[in-house]
Structure 1
Amino acid sequence: MPYIQESSYPKPTLFNRNSHFSTIYPSKFKQYPIPNYTREKITTADGDFLNLDWRKQSNKEKLVILFHGLEGDSKRTYLNSCSDYFYERGYSILAWNHRSCGGEMNATCRLYHHGSIDDVDCVVQKALKDDYKEIVLLGYSMGGAIILNYLGAYTIDKRIKCGIIFSAPLSLTSCSDTLKKGFNKVYFKNFERTLVPKFKEKAKQFPGQLNEEMLDKIKSFDEIDEYYTAPLHGYSSKDDYYEKASPLTVIHQIKTPCLIVNAQNDPFLGEKCFPVEMFRQHEFCTFEMPKFGGHCGFPLRNNKYSWAEIRAHQFVESISK
């Protein structure tokens, strides 16, 4: 599958050509109603739990599993509109929450991260046991990265028809460095606002297991990943984590059709998140790089949907023919 040189994303309004506006407005100000989900709690192999939010059709033909991004949940605006778009076209929807997300702290001494593919497999196996015949994995930002890591590491059931990924941090080092620059620091501050309280809550749950001394000294993802993400999840350091949890390390192993869309003006993504030459030679992955779109934005003129869900449905239909 090729690198798409001319993206189908139409030129947005003047305001939405600004990378920060097209990132922040859809996330913070766009009003899109939360779907009427039914929640199910499932148990993981290590005795923890995951909260799954379902919208089920009367049949079990087609299912889209939605993956939210860092410090998101199943009710983020970009998932809400995507959920509606696919549900109205006959798909059941499973929007799941990573550990500690979705309004409930998880039970074990870990959270989630870009390499949490054991949890992905737990969710996928649940869907397969429920006898869905065609399953699409669709993720944004960190959620997209996790899909790629999963598809590159596991033996994939043939009922998993494709992966669709928007705004994916293909290189974690590159993204960490990018979020230290200029206005981009604002995005880190937004993550810090919710991540640090989670670490403090984990420290109360598991006294002596976390580096409490560093909790008030965090200035970038370097500290978060060196002192918390890496040790909590079995990595020797942040650099070890960045290397092993970056999708670039496994994309060459993917044998499931994938669409990966990263906007050129995405303020989260560094240069290494646009490996065009790699995708020119890839048999299964299609890479699309629109000029505009921001991070998980892709707004359209006079349309309640974003281009992301429309493009995702087009891709699913194209591989089903």
Structure 2
Amino acid sequence: MPIIDSTYNVPFPFKNGHFSTVYAGLIRRVKGVEQKREQITLPDNDFLDLDWSFSEEKTKKVIILLHGLEGNAQRPYMTGTAKLFNKNKVDAVCVNFRGCSGSPNLKFRSYHSGATEDLEATIEHILSTKDYSEIYIKGISLGGNMILKYLGERDHVPSQIKAVVAVSVPCSLAGSAKKLHSFENSLYHDRFKKHLVDRLKIKQQQFSDMLSLEAVNSIKTLYDFDNVYTSKAHGFKNASDYYEKCSCLQFLPNIKTPSLIVNALNDSFLSHECYPVKQAKANPNLYLEMPKYGGHVGFVDKKNVYYDEHRALKFTLTIP
């Protein structure tokens, strides 16, 4: 499809990508979302915690929300979308990836950008236990890469999935990793690494026969983390192999479900490969919007409803 001309604009200082990223991630608050937790068992006997919120009216529509790296179902970018959709007669289920709900998961593995088997299990659970005729999915950052990979790596997608929105997507994991390791992003890099390593130390105590404390202490960068843990725990040769096999970029041509990517041009986490103009122009089901502003998941807008949330609602409920 032709590239979508974005109408998003914000006042200073939110035109600064770093300011909008930090404000949205650390300062924004969303109130008024009541969530009910459901725990499901995965095929390997691990678990996922799903946090549901509901429309005041009975509905046949639901949106599945997928968070980013080290996120969870209570992040404002999750609850903000859930609240908006609930107000528009759509139920919402915010997925906590393995180990992200406040309790360590049971297996040595956890979650990663390409773990579509857990998304598939979630969708199958919803289809088999609920009565929804329309399913929408919105993924943020890592979650955006996951849903686009899910759609493009398989020939059959459940017919109930009507539309997908992916925001601030690292379509090239290697390219995004390189950007995160740059001086410009050092504060973000160090924050992510600290959180990941702190949780990995807990997992090392659970699985000391599979991961040594020396290996954990050797991690100095996010690339090290993916080399030492992510790749080994999930069946990849190394970090580079993980990035190559799990980047959604290669799967975009095969997407048959209407899908919108919203990637800000001033997102410091994204390399040039993360703006798939060529792929969008070649695939009638793939829509690409590249706002000038927004940083990484920082699409600040009026009345605490963010631009990407407005776009998700409009795109899913008025499917092109």
TM-score range, shorter chain: over 0.9
Q: Could you tell which deviates more after superposition, 307-316 or 53-62?
A: 53-62
Report whether the alignment pairs 1:144 with 2:144. yes
Report whether the alignment pairs 1:164 with 2:162. no
In the TM superposition, 1:38-187 aligns within 5 A as 38-57=36-55, 58-129=57-128, 130-154=130-154, 155-187=156-188
Q: 1:125 to 1:60 in 2, by over 3 A?
A: farther
Q: 1:273 to 1:252 in 2, by over 3 A?
A: same
Correspondence for 1:291: 292
One-letter amino acid matched to 1:226: N
Q: Could you tell which deviates more after superposition, 45-54 or 211-220?
A: 211-220
Report if aligned partners of 1:235, 1:241 keep a CA contact under 8 Å in 2: yes
- 1:64-111: CA deviations, max 9, x gaps? 011111100000011111111100000011011000001111001101
Report if aligned partners of 1:63, 1:135 keep a CA contact under 8 Å in 2: yes
Report if aligned partners of 1:243, 1:249 keep a CA contact under 8 Å in 2: no
**Once superposed, what is the RMSD of the aligned Cα atoms?**
1.3
Correspondence for 2:230: 229
Percent identity between the two aligned chains? 38
Give unmatched runs, 5+ long, in structure 2: none
Q: 1:213 to 1:121 in 2, by over 3 A?
A: same
Q: In the TM superposition, what is the alpha-carbon distance from 1:31 to its structure 2 partner?
A: 2.1
- 1:173-230: CA deviations, max 9, x gaps? 0011001112301111111121102111111111221243232232222101111100
- 1:240-293: CA deviations, max 9, x gaps? 100001001211111111000100000111111012122111121101101100
Report if aligned partners of 2:139, 2:165 keep a CA contact under 8 Å in 1: yes
Within the candidate set 18, 21, 41, 1:20 is matched to 18
Report if aligned partners of 2:164, 2:316 keep a CA contact under 8 Å in 1: no
Give the secondary-structure state (helix, strand or coil) at the position aligned to 2:50.
strand
Correspondence for 1:215: 216
2:19 and 2:110 mapped to 1: Cα distance? 30
Correspondence for 1:203: 204
Query: How many pairs were matched up?
Result: 317
Report if aligned partners of 2:48, 2:96 keep a CA contact under 8 Å in 1: yes
One-letter amino acid matched to 1:246: S
- 1:6-64: CA deviations, max 9, x gaps? 2121x211110111001000110112226210101000000100000112345341000
- Runs of at least 4 residues of structure 1 off by over 4 A? none
Report if aligned partners of 1:151, 1:256 keep a CA contact under 8 Å in 2: yes
Report if aligned partners of 1:117, 1:146 keep a CA contact under 8 Å in 2: yes
Give the secondary-structure state (helix, strand or coil) at the position aligned to 1:93.
strand
What's the TM-score, normalizing by structure 2? 0.96
2:281 and 2:287 mapped to 1: Cα distance? 8
One-letter amino acid matched to 2:135: I
Give unmatched runs, 5+ long, in structure 1: none
What's the TM-score, normalizing by structure 1? 0.96
One-letter amino acid matched to 1:35: V
